[in-house]
Structure 1
Amino acid sequence: MVSFGSKALPLRRPKHHSIVENSPFSGEDSEYKQGRRRRGMGRKSTKKQKNSNGGCASGSVPDRTLKDKKSSKKHDSAEPETSYVRKQIDPETAKYFSEIADTLEKGELDLEERSIICGNALEESSRKEVELCTDHIISHTMQALLDGCDADHLCGFLRGCTKNFARIATDRNGSHVAETAFYSLASHLLDQEWHSTIEDTLMEICQAIVQNPVDVMCNCYGSHVLRSLLCLCKGVPLNSEFHAAKSSSVLAHRLNLKGDGDHKNDAQNVHQGFPDVLEFLVSEMVKCSTPNIATLQVDQYGSLVLQTALKLLQGQDQELIQIIPVIMGCKMENAEAGNLIEITEAENIRDLVKENAFSHLMEVILEVAPDILYNEIFVKIFKDSLFGISCHHSANFAVQSLISHARSQSQIYVMSEELGPRFKDLLDMGRWGVVASLIAASQRLNAQEHECSRALVSAVTLANESPKCIVPRILLLESYFFSNDKSNWSWTSGSKVHVMGSLILQCLFKYPSGYIEPFITSLTSMESSHVLETAKDGAGARVIEAFLGSNASDKQKKKLIKKYTLHPHFYLPFLSLVSYAFPELLCSVTDRKVSTASQLLKGHFGELAMHPSGSFTVGKCFDASGVPLREAIVSDLLTVQRELSKTRHGPHLLRHLDVDGFSRQPEQWRSRQKSKLAVYKEFLAEFSSAEGDSSKRKNTPADTSKKPSQKTNIKKMRKEIDNVLMSFTASAEGSKKLKKHRIR
């Protein structure tokens, strides 16, 4: 092998070296480890790794994590067992890789030299891959080599690991080496020239894994490597949500709080992937694991692998219909007769869903199952047992997934009839997620909305009680339902708004206004101090935003807003929230009552601007006002200009309002503002008349959809006018400075 560059190391020559002097196992071991850490190649702690992998499927309730620890106790207690004795690395090889590590660590090599050195070293690792990859020290060097070599040497190394890949993947150190190899492969896929070579290499690795997949799947390190391999075969990022979805992301999708577009962006492929390799790996992995499927169903790490595989196959109905029944423990012979789940199998699955690992797995099954399979699961397993399953601390998450992924109005009707009358019991037990999921699903499918709304009212009110108490009790959900004396419960000052209570109300305010009158009445009748506390709380603020964006009438919304215009200290934080959630309403108020707003907010704009959402309010007030109020706003900001410029949002606001220009030349600033307002007015008059003429000419229903684009055009126009005037101002000031300089 030819070396390149003065720093390049040649292939190892058969020389004798001093074991004591040069072996990395000598006294310099601690210094070597510190060098590895400085290079950012240290291992994450085992505890942290387990936490990041364990929360894949859903839920934000703490009692679930307790079950996770119990189910994985056997994995946490000791290192993964191996059925072989790892060979010791000879001192000569250890010295060679120590020298390689020192050379790479110096960082004096260019990319071509580094690539050649890495390639040479990987060739030297032939037939010693297992020993090198599983060594606590040299495994770090192997990671650096795999990260810096070319695709040819990378694939050659992996092919050399094929027979022993399971041993490497299930080792604490080797698993990091395997994942580094996969990340490096993903980067080389940007070059289409290597696509077929990498595909062949991955197929060889998959063929080796499926010989005995259960041991790898149920190993805490092997599970992580397998999930990365599955993501690589699919073409999605190796650290994507398919690997380990965040519970907050799952909950957002489940309650319709995250758009489909966002979800598609998360699932976007970074390369075309290897669909044949993925299908082979999943199908063979499930097929070879069938005798041990009962073990995989209740094993935390095996469940995570199956969850990732199912998510990556979403949309491939034929493959899923073949795989899902096997994962649930059903006999495939039944599928030929169109009967995927037998009665005895359904009973077993109802028991299994109470196991934490299988509950997570069932959530994903319900998410990706084709319609025909979902319906059979719903009818044979969950129907008439929904409440009983919902009572269990782990199984209730599967019910949440079932409800959230309902496919038809008839399914929502059955769910509502069974669970609606038990809302109070579910809330008493702390199963708020089941209630929230049903409310969100009914809104998504426009089914049983009125019934769900009435069921929730009945759950939070006692007989003959006023609806005024409804929203406060949902906002402080845990405080109310866990109180010993509900009849005498009252709002406790300083209480934090319950997250699930906030989510339930956000879902409700998406209903037609006719179905949620009691909730609207309750919110608009709340005491001023309680609404102020709600507006200051992060979860509570979302509720008010949802109400202001709901189908409630403008009169009802303004009732909530005008209630605080008489109290500046209440109005300031509330106005900030209103401007973010309902800017059109704020503009309509300030446009008609400029003098009132000036008197109300004068002296408080600086205080308001210091908060991120408050700066948005200041900008809205500025844009909706005439020159006198604009001057009042900028004058207030001058008092906090230095502090405001140090915040993240402050510089943008100061530029938008041209505070510096006002402080230097107030008269010219006023002139510029008058010019801007005049141009805005002329453009709006012409723009509005043009829109009106076109609507008269066309007069079609489709024309009503142009309102959002009109607002966007006006916003762009305002920005363009500001930029043009600012550029004129800058050029004028620049020319004045130039003249002064010439005179001097």
Structure 2
Amino acid sequence: MVSVGSQALVSRRTRSCNLVEDSSMGEEDKSYKQSKRKKGMGRKAKKERFGFDGDNSSKNVSGTGWVGAGIIGHKKSSKHKNTSDLQPLVIRKQVDPETVKYFSEIANLFESSGIDLEERSVICANALEEAQGKEFELATDYIISHTLQTLLEGCNVDHLCSFLRGCAKIFPLIAMDRSGSHVAETALKSLATHLQDNEAYSIIEETLTMICKVIVSNPVDMMCNCYGSHVLRSLLCLCGGVPLDSPEFHGAKPSTILAERLNLKETREGGNNSVKHQLGFPSLLKFLVSEMLKCTHEDIKTLQVDQYSSLVLQTALKLLAGQSQELMQIIAILLGCKEENLTEENFINTTAVVEVVELMKETAYSHLMEVILGVAPESLYNKMFTKVFRKSLFELSSHHCGNFVIQALVSHARNQEQMEMIWEALGPKFKDLLEMGRSGVIASLIAACQRLHIHENKCCQALTAAVCLPNESPRCIVPRILFLESYFAFEDKSNWKWPSDFKMHVMGSLILQAIFRFQSELIQPFINSLTSMEIDHVLQTAKDAGGARVIEAFLSSNASGKQKHRLIMKLRGHFGELAMHSSGSFTIEKCFTASSVSLREAIASDLLAVQPELSKTKQGPYLLRKLDIDRFANRPDQWKAMQASKQSTYKEFYAAFGSNENKRSRSDSFLADTSKNTSQPKGIKKMRKEIDYHLTSEKNRKGRAVSETVGTSKKVVESTHQIPFLSTDMKGKKRHRKHKPTKVSKKKLKV
């Protein structure tokens, strides 16, 4: 391949270029295969990722597509019927050989990495100038598009905006192309990097405004396109001031959504504040979203059920979270009702209710409705709850798509009155829902009852009755919930036994984790069932990722110390084996915290036996350091003294700061890890860590003092003991840690 200097890469705008119409896409594909594939430039055609699925030929819903060889027809939205049916045709021409050679030389030069930053900027500027008038052909060329991405990443903001303004009129067509979508995405990301420059803000806003005006002239095609929808979501994120690659706005992971619904992840009203916001264009965001939805009734129906437009609308709703007026207008349109009816009692009529209920059984709309329920202002949520959902709770809960909407509805319930209505419809249906495989509804219902402190006892009783017959022993409750799918698929349920070749049910383990956050007096059947399991079954549960979290939730609960010790004793002798599993370190740490000093010693002995093998695992070094196994091996008496000191300090701490309820629940046990039912859980957890840190550092200091003062009496060394000061007092105010020895200690240390 030829490598040339930058002097040969000046702009060639003075030359005339004869553009030859592309006669065969197959010829281009053949030439692409002969070129060397650049590192990191491969785009898989079949794998879907964030809306990209490789082949767009069969997914143009609204009329944009290839017409003939290299000609794109851009169909007008039905709201523009007073004009021509088609916009002017855009001809996809083949890039002329001279331009191909020019950009090939640039690619070779960048690969050689023999140019400095300033020279690179000049090359990018000249090349983008050369691209003027040919943006569409270059951006949609599979090979050159990669080079164009590199140029857009390396140019300054003026050339970047100039390029985007030059292709603004055809930006939707570039965005809807397989290769062009990557170019459009790169351009938007490059714009985001320049937002910190105050002088560049106005030119970026002007450029984005031009693009947005073109998009809203016919938004349906781009919204329903697999490539265009992804670019459009990035544009929305840029206007909304959030990172373009933020997973929350490009489709949050199901595990993250589930964690929020089950109170496993802290959420904040009005959106997730964990996302790092940057400078955006809020007025442009509102304009883009509102204009996109000014479509005909037929277009709205298309947007409601299309998977790609659903993703765009979800992103828009999340970005507008907390802005009640805008959300009221958008949600009204998506529900199929008129904006002026929002303040009326019949804001959505009976016919529309039936249509919305049926729409929620569609995959795309069910995802959209989940987001709507999460961001809807309280007044609108209440109206939706009363008008749309109240009479359809069980119907939707039974549906394979609709049940996810009910999970969102339940997790966002505003008050006890709404939960009362939900309980009337779904409370007696626990067994039916579990048999249908709708365990997510049950988990959301349990979590919501716990959050709003209503029907907690009834939840536990209903779940028990769903998996345990009246004449059966409650010992079977936890095993059956751990293997929900296996149990309900078994015909003779009374003879069901613990399966050895089944993986534990994920949702079943989540249900048990939620149950163990209730007060101990409500969940005694579950506690007795877990602690009465056979040793082999307890070990198998601890080795399973979901089962281990159930054990950890139990050990973090406010169950009695005797009950926790009963379960931990069944793992005695197996902690070394358990530690070799990736999730086992967390379980062992919880067991260690909830154990007495003698039981802690047994755990440390098990780990010491496998220390060489354990130290080679990913989790091993942390666990060995956390439990101080080296000290246990070399100075066991000092290790025991430290554990006893921790136990004494924890008891004194809880005696002073713990709630009466905690004192009663922990009076007969070593103080386990703070449960979520305790008062001030965050502060207590922080103080607990400080106690551990202080006692550990104190023992280390004592050891050094002994070695340096040979012949000094034990009494002298012990007199250097410092009183631990916590960083917060009873009112939660910060206090500084003090490490000043007493005057007596100073004098004795000089001896």
Q: TM-score range by the shorter chain?
A: 0.7 to 0.9
1:298 aligned residue (291, 305, 318): 305
CA contact (8 A) 1:162 1:205 kept: yes
1:35 CA drift (Å): 6.1
Aligned equivalent of 2:488:
481
Residue 100 (structure 2) pairs with residue 94 (structure 1) = yes
Residue 352 (structure 2) pairs with residue 349 (structure 1) = no
Q: For the residues of structure 2 that align with 1:52 and 1:687, how far apart are their CA atoms?
A: 52
Aligned equivalent of 1:493:
500
CA contact (8 A) 1:126 1:157 kept: yes
CA contact (8 A) 1:513 1:551 kept: yes
Q: For the residues of structure 2 that align with 1:682 and 1:251, how far apart are their CA atoms?
A: 40
Structure 1 residues 611 and 331 mapped into 2: Cα distance closer, same or farther (>3 Å)? same
Structure 1 residues 381 and 603 mapped into 2: Cα distance closer, same or farther (>3 Å)? same
Q: For the residues of structure 2 that align with 1:569 and 1:501, how far apart are their CA atoms?
A: 25
Residue 384 (structure 2) pairs with residue 377 (structure 1) = yes
Structure 1 residues 387 and 111 mapped into 2: Cα distance closer, same or farther (>3 Å)? same
SS of the residue 1:260 aligns to: coil
1:123 aligned residue (126, 129, 140): 129
CA contact (8 A) 1:549 1:581 kept: no
Question: Deviations 1:670-704 (Å, cap 9, x if unpaired)?
Answer: xxx96x999x7999899999989999xxxxx9999
Q: Which of structures 1 and 2 has the larger relative contact order (alpha carbons within 8 angstroms, sep 6+)?
A: 1
Within a 5 Å distance, the mapping from 1:279-678 to structure 2 comes to 279-288=286-295, 291-337=298-344, 339-565=346-572, 568-569=573-574, 573=578, 580-581=586-587, 583=589, 586=592, 589=595, 591-592=597-598, 603-606=609-612, 618-622=624-628, 629-631=632-634
Question: Deviations 1:469-492 (Å, cap 9, x if unpaired)?
Answer: 111111001000011221211112
CA contact (8 A) 1:36 1:140 kept: no
1:106 aligned residue (102, 105, 112): 112
Aligned equivalent of 1:659:
none
Structure 1 residues 517 and 691 mapped into 2: Cα distance closer, same or farther (>3 Å)? closer
CA contact (8 A) 1:80 1:219 kept: no
Structure 1 residues 261 and 504 mapped into 2: Cα distance closer, same or farther (>3 Å)? same
Question: Deviations 1:290-333 (Å, cap 9, x if unpaired)?
Answer: 55101111111111111111111111111101110101211223
Q: For the residues of structure 1 that align with 2:152 and 2:376, how far apart are their CA atoms?
A: 38
Q: For the residues of structure 2 that align with 1:391 and 1:220, how far apart are their CA atoms?
A: 30
1:154 CA drift (Å): 0.2
1:141 CA drift (Å): 2.0
Amino acid at match of 2:689: T
CA contact (8 A) 2:6 2:123 kept: no
CA contact (8 A) 1:396 1:431 kept: yes
Structure 1 residues 710 and 34 mapped into 2: Cα distance closer, same or farther (>3 Å)? farther
CA contact (8 A) 1:590 1:621 kept: no
Aligned equivalent of 2:749:
none
Q: For the residues of structure 1 that align with 2:647 and 2:557, how far apart are their CA atoms?
A: 30
1:202 CA drift (Å): 0.8
CA contact (8 A) 1:390 1:431 kept: yes
Question: Deviations 1:480-516 (Å, cap 9, x if unpaired)?
Answer: 0011221211112232111111111111111111221
Aligned equivalent of 2:275:
267
CA contact (8 A) 1:548 1:582 kept: no
Question: Deviations 1:697-741 (Å, cap 9, x if unpaired)?
Answer: xxxx9999864443332343356568879999999xxxxxxxxxx
- Between 1:574-583 and 1:388-397, the stretch displaced more is 574-583
Within a 5 Å distance, the mapping from 1:54-73 to structure 2 comes to none
Residue 54 (structure 2) pairs with residue 48 (structure 1) = no
Aligned equivalent of 2:731:
none
Aligned equivalent of 2:720:
none
TM-score, structure 1 normalization: 0.79
Amino acid at match of 1:363: E
CA contact (8 A) 2:59 2:226 kept: no
Structure 1 residues 34 and 406 mapped into 2: Cα distance closer, same or farther (>3 Å)? farther
Would you tell me which structure has more helix in proportion to its own residues?
Answer: 1
Question: Deviations 1:134-190 (Å, cap 9, x if unpaired)?
Answer: 222222222121111110000011111111111111112211110010111111223
CA contact (8 A) 1:471 1:523 kept: yes
CA contact (8 A) 2:62 2:221 kept: no
Q: For the residues of structure 2 that align with 1:690 and 1:441, how far apart are their CA atoms?
A: 35
Residue 176 (structure 2) pairs with residue 170 (structure 1) = yes
Structure 1 residues 162 and 724 mapped into 2: Cα distance closer, same or farther (>3 Å)? farther
Q: For the residues of structure 1 that align with 2:651 and 2:109, how far apart are their CA atoms?
A: 73
Q: For the residues of structure 2 that align with 1:197 and 1:509, how far apart are their CA atoms?
A: 56
Aligned equivalent of 1:257:
264
Q: For the residues of structure 1 that align with 2:610 and 2:279, how far apart are their CA atoms?
A: 55
Question: Deviations 1:53-102 (Å, cap 9, x if unpaired)?
Answer: 399xxxxxxxxxxxxx9x99745999944303323333333333333333
Q: For the residues of structure 1 that align with 2:486 and 2:647, how far apart are their CA atoms?
A: 54
Structure 1 residues 104 and 709 mapped into 2: Cα distance closer, same or farther (>3 Å)? closer
Structure 1 residues 202 and 728 mapped into 2: Cα distance closer, same or farther (>3 Å)? farther
Amino acid at match of 1:38: K
CA contact (8 A) 2:430 2:442 kept: yes
Q: For the residues of structure 2 that align with 1:446 and 1:488, how far apart are their CA atoms?
A: 36
CA contact (8 A) 1:590 1:597 kept: no
Question: Deviations 1:383-412 (Å, cap 9, x if unpaired)?
Answer: 121111111111111111111111111111
SS of the residue 2:342 aligns to: helix
Name the Cα RMSD after superposition. Answer: 4.2
Amino acid at match of 2:531: T
Question: Deviations 1:259-281 (Å, cap 9, x if unpaired)?
Answer: 33898464221x22111111111
Structure 1 residues 504 and 36 mapped into 2: Cα distance closer, same or farther (>3 Å)? farther
Q: For the residues of structure 1 that align with 2:682 and 2:315, how far apart are their CA atoms?
A: 40
Amino acid at match of 1:178: A
Structure 1 unaligned regions, length at least 5 = 56-68, 634-672, 696-700, 732-744
TM-score, structure 2 normalization: 0.78
1:347 CA drift (Å): 1.1
Question: Deviations 1:453-475 (Å, cap 9, x if unpaired)?
Answer: 11111111123111111111110
Q: For the residues of structure 2 that align with 1:461 and 1:688, how far apart are their CA atoms?
A: 39
Q: For the residues of structure 1 that align with 2:626 and 2:393, how far apart are their CA atoms?
A: 49
CA contact (8 A) 2:261 2:411 kept: yes
CA contact (8 A) 1:135 1:173 kept: yes
Structure 1 residues 423 and 6 mapped into 2: Cα distance closer, same or farther (>3 Å)? closer
SS of the residue 1:465 aligns to: coil
1:573 CA drift (Å): 2.3
Amino acid at match of 2:512: L
2:193 aligned residue (142, 162, 187): 187
Question: Deviations 1:429-463 (Å, cap 9, x if unpaired)?
Answer: 11111111111111122222111111111111123
CA contact (8 A) 1:602 1:632 kept: no
CA contact (8 A) 1:175 1:222 kept: yes
Aligned equivalent of 2:252:
245
Question: Deviations 1:570-607 (Å, cap 9, x if unpaired)?
Answer: 78528998973585762574524677667777645545
Q: For the residues of structure 2 that align with 1:686 and 1:493, how far apart are their CA atoms?
A: 42
CA contact (8 A) 1:587 1:620 kept: no
Structure 1 residues 381 and 90 mapped into 2: Cα distance closer, same or farther (>3 Å)? same
Question: Deviations 1:16-43 (Å, cap 9, x if unpaired)?
Answer: 89999xxxx9999878767663242232
SS of the residue 1:518 aligns to: helix
